[in-house]
Structure 1
Amino acid sequence: MAQTSSHVDSEDTVEYWLFPNISEDGDQLQELEAFRTRCFTFIQDQSQNYIWHEDSINLKVVTKRTAGDNPPHLYGKTRYGCNVEDEWFIVHLFRSFSVTENDVVIRIVDSDGDFLLVEAADILPRWANPESCINRVFIHVGQVHMISIADRPSSITPLPSGQPSLMDAVHIVRSMPHLTIAPSPIQEPIRQRIEKCVSQIDSSLHRCNVFVPASVAALLQSYPTLVAPAVHAFCQRDASQLQVIRAMRFFPPETRVWTSVTFTKCLYAMLVHRNYQPDHRTGWTLPPNGDPKRTGSELGMKLAVGFELLANEESLHQQGGDYSLEMDSRWNRFLNTLKEKGFFQDFLESSQPYNELLEKAREFYMNSVGVEGPAKKPVILRLMQSVFADIEKFKKEEAHLPADDDDSWLSVDPATLDQILGDKFGLLGVDDDEAKAEILPKLETFLHRKSDYEGLTPSSGRKKSRKLSHLAPPSASRKTSTLSNTSDVSQLSNHIGFDPDSFASAMQGILDFALPEDNWDLESNSSCLSSYSEEEEGGELVDKEMNNYMQTMDQELLSTDVLRTSVDNPTRKESVMSEGCESFSDVENFQPVKIDSAALESLLASYTMQRGGPGPASILLNQLNLPRSQISASKKQTD
């Protein structure tokens, strides 16, 4: 698999490449397979009983013959569905693995590209965008590495200025890590996001008691991760499977018992909200609505249907005889390597702990070699042979089952949503008057700026006003100095005394003595321009017509609330009513129009309606470099 695109086709898929330090003269295939075995053993040890929403980690061997221009590596792709925490758990596993295998270089992307940098979006260097970051972001020895682009033409650097090849990029990270390691302001938010994912694994689970056939209860006790494929099988069923569901040949409802099952909250929500009306001929009996056991009985019925569909699909596949794992020489070689590495510990063959590890090894191998279709599904029928459904035992345990977890988290009212957004984005603790006073000047300055076809460039670095500089986050004030030291490359050019940022700031300070030429009202501009066009008759007619048009528009504005809602300016109405160039003659008394309070209220209302999501209002306010806390405080004041 030589594919190394920056963007994944599917929005719910993450791709990863692991580049070990493989010698060119040795047996690359053997070295890669040994490396994959070490990786699988490490991942299995770190993710025991972790419930993957859809796919687990899988790794394919890509030798030099099939890698093209890329170095030999392991490649994998995982669908995480609607549970994005799986994606970050994969990052955690590979980041930890890179510490034990300190010569491996890892690249991880999803449909957003190098999504690791999204966590540090506010403090990235100016050159960093989805296109320029291709083949520049990696994980090495537990740290994020960025192959930076020179920030000025005078920089003397061994790093490539254009898009590097993967071969060159991996070599640079491995041989010059001191030049590519990302600064701590970028490392820290990524580390916090990873730690948050790991710390919330237990809190993301939901435990409840369900009424299921005894065989299902035995399978879930021995293989708790089977709950995920069973839920997906139930939710993805179609009309062609109704006959299978009606028969319930493998898991009849007559043997139902109560047992405790652990879901992820995502799987639990999927199962609860998927309606299902069973066929009365099947034998499903449910308590009436309102009965405390109603929910557990419904969930158990849905789980049993999911297991039935998986078992039926496996049965059909066995009859077809398309693929036999035992006849695969690569699987036998992989299994023998696991035994030599002590993967199965000292468990006896065919024992329950041995079978659990064997099933996980089988699943990993199936995903890695690219087996699709029913052969990739869990072998429910084979696993049933390794468990014993002791109905009497389950009956005795029913009295000691733990209580169900509270599922009130399924319902979120507007007040709770506001609190969640407040906790996530920090929307509290700012003085209302001060926040509004800071937003207005920034908004006015923003509206007077011009942009190219790519949009406005944030002015946090060069044109920042002294009055507003204290609003920037602490990291923003250090952005230029910190990110310019991303590597030791910048030290090579320190003897050059020209600092473009300081030069631009100095020039801006000089130009600040000029008159505010772009803040005059449109009426005075249009009327003053007519005084310069007296030499041309055609121009004079156009200016006179435009002047009349602007005066008419000013009169219409005076009859509305637009000017009345502006920040108090007693001379504004008189200046609008003046004619000709009378307003221009009094430059010393010039006062530009301030931002309309109604416009600000509308902007903040639009931001609130977005509820933290992307949209025009959030994009505009982000361009102003306004913290979300000040935006929220201004919204509370306008309310």
Structure 2
Amino acid sequence: MDTAPELRPGDDGFEGFQMRLAEDCVEYMLFVIRDKTDSQFPSLETVKKAADQKLEELAKDYIWQREPFKLETKVQKGLGLPYLQGTTRYGDNVEDEWLIVYLLRELSKSFPSLWVRVADSDGEFLLIEAAKVTPKWLSPENDTNRVWIHDGKLLIIPLSNNISSPLSLQDAIETIKSSPASLIHSTFIEAESFYRLEKYPAQIRSSLHHSRATIPRKLAYILHARPKAIAPATEAFYLRDPRALKPLLSPAPTPPLVFPPTDLVTISVRFTRVLYAQLKSQHFARPPAAWRGLLDTAEVEVATTASTTTTTTTTAGPAKSTAEERLAQLEMGVKVTTGFELLARAAHESASRVAREVALLLEDLAEDGGDAALPGDEEIRGWEGVAREDDDSWMDIDYRDFEKELGGGKGTAGFGDAGTQADLQKIVSRFEAFLNDDKAGIDGIDVDEMDRDDDSDEDDDEDVWEDDDEDEDKEVGFNEEQFAKMMREMMGLPSEDGGREKGKQKAVLEEVEKESDEGGDEDEDGDEKFREIMAQMESELKSLGALDLDPKSKGLSSIKEKGEGPEAGPASQKEDGDEESGDDAVDIDYNLAKNLLESFKSQAGMAGPAGNLLGLMGMTLPRDEEDSGDDQK
């Protein structure tokens, strides 16, 4: 069969080298394709201005995790028309991605000639949301460039002449130009794909969180002027490099601190919930030396207050005292300030526009007289929302409420907000539907001919699929006793019923040999060679002691005879009667035991392979407290 020649740079139709998007990136393309019903044909610049205006209306105070929504004009050879394109890194906050989808869908309602395509590193993630109702012919192998947003609707380009192959961007544009009516609009797919957009635009405001923090006055000025700078500062702290943090830990850091803790004020800082959770959940064991005295004083005040007063208890738990609130605000302030210290030291080299703006503000502040230009207490008290403190109980999840939600329990307060509970129930319902679907394959859809191996012949394929059909209903179980027994044998330890197991293994081997002998003369030569090879391997492994599972291991005794063990010498020699006593003998491979103990010790009390293996076999070793104490000395 003739194949089309490979396109190279400069050829018509070449779309460039297909680069995979980063894991936390979303890409969006906006095409203006003339529609006969559209009397006013908008330009790309008109669409771009409308997008910026819509963004200002919907998300003026929104804080982007890494990069904001942005559009640039692109020209790609072979497409025949320019378009708007943008890429946004959303980091750990997937809400940034869905805000962009919502913005693009609303924008498409304003221009009948606008066609929008959006995808991320997973591909057509809108179809992933609607995987349960997606038609069988649409798969990750052929869905590229087929999903479009137009006039607020989700449209899909169908297969051309039933040919299931990836669709190029150029072919997709030509299809939209020539026959837009051929695109498929399914209300079921659209409802599932846009399910997360139902909570917008209210989600934009509910995703923000305000928390009071005690910070230097200079930093309060920076945050008031550039509140979105909290995102790169939080990331600088959350992903802090020990080498970059080391100068801050010194009593006399060089260069000096940009935000020394000398003139502190308490203000409300605006975060997104993701940013707040990243800071709140971080355990900052070694704060900068300049802050340690303040933290120690606050902790002493909390301890003194706790010993002299009784905290009141509410339905949500014990209420914080004033001293505890001051300590919490100071701890948050230390984290925020440390993040800005790290940000300011590398702001000029940062790819973040907001970070560079912080550097310019600091330069302007130094030129205007430094601390003399900072706002006073009266001015700070006049700032909007300066004392706002939001409840952060959304971070607390009771596992009992979580289990009730998973079980579909009603009549309980649940956890989180209504949107979180709805999302969880939807995930559970989808998972249960998948488990109850007897026709579901590995990928959650019916396996068709496209998933078969093209390199194998038809006869082999038929045999494989017949075997799968016969085995698909078999139950898969886990036998803990058999697993523990297998691990004992792998580690060279005696089996609890070694004799009986040997008898079973021998019977199985005899049965296998019997079946091999009955296979016919045509495979006799091959079987004989196979048995010879296996016999040679078995002999070599036995000579090395790898297959010696009897409770007569010579590992320790051989060491003692050579004078290497602690009891080497005449006292280590045994009488014949003692050697034959299998019940009293201790079956230990000295090297194995030594390596196992050293592996367990290297875990330092944490979870690890040695501890897990011993736990599966019912053995628990104590921590080596004596050695740990010696190490500390």
TM-score by length of 1: 0.52
How far the C-alpha of 1:262 sits from its partner, in A, is: 1.7
The match for 2:140 is 130
The match for 2:446 is 457
Does the 8 Å CA contact 1:8/1:109 hold for their aligned counterparts? no
Matched letter for residue 146 of structure 1: I
Asked which structure has the greater RCO (Cα within 8 Å, sep 6+), the reply is 1
Moved more, 168-177 or 98-107: 168-177
Alpha-carbon displacement from aligned partner over 1:201-232 (angstroms, at most 9, x marks no partner) = 33322211111112222232333222111111
Does the 8 Å CA contact 2:141/2:165 hold for their aligned counterparts? no
- CA–CA distance in structure 2, aligned partners of residues 146 and 118 of structure 1: 14
Note closer, same or farther for the CA distance 1:259–1:145 as it changes in structure 2 (3 Å cut).
Answer: same
Note closer, same or farther for the CA distance 1:401–1:42 as it changes in structure 2 (3 Å cut).
Answer: closer
| Aligned equivalent of 1:55, options 56, 67, 89 | 67
Residue 123 of structure 2 aligns to a residue whose secondary structure is coil
- CA–CA distance in structure 1, aligned partners of residues 229 and 400 of structure 2: 36
Note closer, same or farther for the CA distance 1:137–1:278 as it changes in structure 2 (3 Å cut).
Answer: same
- CA–CA distance in structure 1, aligned partners of residues 444 and 184 of structure 2: 30
How far the C-alpha of 1:117 sits from its partner, in A, is: 1.2
The match for 1:410 is 395
Note closer, same or farther for the CA distance 1:6–1:104 as it changes in structure 2 (3 Å cut).
Answer: farther
Does the 8 Å CA contact 1:244/1:312 hold for their aligned counterparts? no
Does residue 312 (structure 1) correspond to residue 345 (structure 2)? The answer is: yes
How far the C-alpha of 1:244 sits from its partner, in A, is: 5.6
The match for 1:166 is 169
| Aligned equivalent of 2:51, options 39, 56, 62 | 39
Alpha-carbon displacement from aligned partner over 1:229-267 (angstroms, at most 9, x marks no partner) = 111122233213532674554322112101111211111
The match for 1:242 is 246
The match for 1:119 is 129
The match for 1:74 is 84
Alpha-carbon displacement from aligned partner over 1:65-100 (angstroms, at most 9, x marks no partner) = xx4557422222111111111111010111111222
Does the 8 Å CA contact 1:85/1:197 hold for their aligned counterparts? no
- CA–CA distance in structure 1, aligned partners of residues 341 and 159 of structure 2: 56
Residue 292 of structure 1 aligns to a residue whose secondary structure is helix
| Aligned equivalent of 1:288, options 295, 299, 318 | 299
How far the C-alpha of 1:32 sits from its partner, in A, is: 4.8
- CA–CA distance in structure 1, aligned partners of residues 155 and 259 of structure 2: 51
How far the C-alpha of 1:406 sits from its partner, in A, is: 2.4
Note closer, same or farther for the CA distance 1:269–1:400 as it changes in structure 2 (3 Å cut).
Answer: closer
Does the 8 Å CA contact 1:12/1:79 hold for their aligned counterparts? yes
Structure 2, unmatched stretches of 5+, are 1-8, 36-41, 303-323, 409-420, 449-468, 475-514, 521-633
Which protein has the larger Cα radius of gyration, Structure 1 or Structure 2? 2
The match for 1:535 is none
Does residue 377 (structure 1) correspond to residue 370 (structure 2)? The answer is: no
Alpha-carbon displacement from aligned partner over 1:494-526 (angstroms, at most 9, x marks no partner) = xxxxxxxxxxxxxxxxxxxxxxx999x99xxxx
The match for 2:305 is none
Does residue 267 (structure 1) correspond to residue 275 (structure 2)? The answer is: yes
- CA–CA distance in structure 1, aligned partners of residues 15 and 54 of structure 2: 25
Moved more, 239-248 or 114-123: 239-248
How far the C-alpha of 1:110 sits from its partner, in A, is: 1.0
Residue 61 of structure 2 aligns to a residue whose secondary structure is coil
How far the C-alpha of 1:128 sits from its partner, in A, is: 1.0
After superposition, residues 358-397 of structure 1 pair within 5 angstroms as 373=351, 377-383=355-361, 385=364, 389-393=374-378, 396=381
Matched letter for residue 149 of structure 1: L
Alpha-carbon displacement from aligned partner over 1:578-610 (angstroms, at most 9, x marks no partner) = xxxxxxxxxxxxxxxxxxxxxxxxxxxxxxxxx
Does the 8 Å CA contact 1:212/1:297 hold for their aligned counterparts? yes
Alpha-carbon displacement from aligned partner over 1:306-325 (angstroms, at most 9, x marks no partner) = 223333323x55xxxxxxxx
- CA–CA distance in structure 2, aligned partners of residues 229 and 428 of structure 1: 32
Note closer, same or farther for the CA distance 1:279–1:311 as it changes in structure 2 (3 Å cut).
Answer: closer
Does the 8 Å CA contact 1:259/1:398 hold for their aligned counterparts? no
Matched letter for residue 404 of structure 1: E
Does the 8 Å CA contact 1:257/1:394 hold for their aligned counterparts? no
Matched letter for residue 240 of structure 1: A
Note closer, same or farther for the CA distance 1:376–1:218 as it changes in structure 2 (3 Å cut).
Answer: closer
How far the C-alpha of 1:34 sits from its partner, in A, is: 5.8
Alpha-carbon displacement from aligned partner over 1:318-348 (angstroms, at most 9, x marks no partner) = xxxxxxxxxxxxxxxxxxxxxxxxxxxxxxx
Moved more, 410-419 or 138-147: 410-419
| Aligned equivalent of 1:231, options 205, 230, 234 | 234
- CA–CA distance in structure 1, aligned partners of residues 179 and 272 of structure 2: 42
Matched letter for residue 63 of structure 2: I
Q: Percent identity?
A: 30
After superposition, residues 104-253 of structure 1 pair within 5 angstroms as 104-149=114-159, 162-174=165-177, 176-238=179-241, 239-243=243-247, 246=253, 249-253=257-261
Structure 1, unmatched stretches of 5+, are 24-29, 154-159, 318-371, 460-516, 523-537, 544-639
How far the C-alpha of 1:108 sits from its partner, in A, is: 0.8
- CA–CA distance in structure 1, aligned partners of residues 158 and 135 of structure 2: 9
How far the C-alpha of 1:374 sits from its partner, in A, is: 6.7
After superposition, residues 227-626 of structure 1 pair within 5 angstroms as 227-238=230-241, 239-243=243-247, 246=253, 249-276=257-284, 277-281=286-290, 285-286=294-295, 287-288=298-299, 290=302, 291-314=324-347, 373=351, 377-383=355-361, 385=364, 389-393=374-378, 396=381, 402=387, 404-421=389-406, 422=408, 423=421, 424=423, 426=425, 457=446
Matched letter for residue 187 of structure 2: S
Note closer, same or farther for the CA distance 1:164–1:255 as it changes in structure 2 (3 Å cut).
Answer: same
How far the C-alpha of 1:118 sits from its partner, in A, is: 1.8
- CA–CA distance in structure 1, aligned partners of residues 43 and 228 of structure 2: 31
Matched letter for residue 59 of structure 1: L
Matched letter for residue 240 of structure 2: R
Residue 285 of structure 1 aligns to a residue whose secondary structure is helix
Residue 125 of structure 1 aligns to a residue whose secondary structure is coil
Residue 55 of structure 2 aligns to a residue whose secondary structure is helix
Matched letter for residue 377 of structure 1: A
- CA–CA distance in structure 1, aligned partners of residues 223 and 116 of structure 2: 34
Note closer, same or farther for the CA distance 1:218–1:122 as it changes in structure 2 (3 Å cut).
Answer: same
Alpha-carbon displacement from aligned partner over 1:378-426 (angstroms, at most 9, x marks no partner) = 4113335489631322665699954632223323232233245444454
Note closer, same or farther for the CA distance 1:216–1:22 as it changes in structure 2 (3 Å cut).
Answer: farther
How far the C-alpha of 1:38 sits from its partner, in A, is: 4.2
Note closer, same or farther for the CA distance 1:8–1:91 as it changes in structure 2 (3 Å cut).
Answer: farther
Q: CA RMSD in A?
A: 4.5
Matched letter for residue 339 of structure 2: G
Does the 8 Å CA contact 2:228/2:354 hold for their aligned counterparts? no
Note closer, same or farther for the CA distance 1:311–1:542 as it changes in structure 2 (3 Å cut).
Answer: closer
Alpha-carbon displacement from aligned partner over 1:46-69 (angstroms, at most 9, x marks no partner) = 3211111111112332224xx455
Does the 8 Å CA contact 1:6/1:113 hold for their aligned counterparts? no
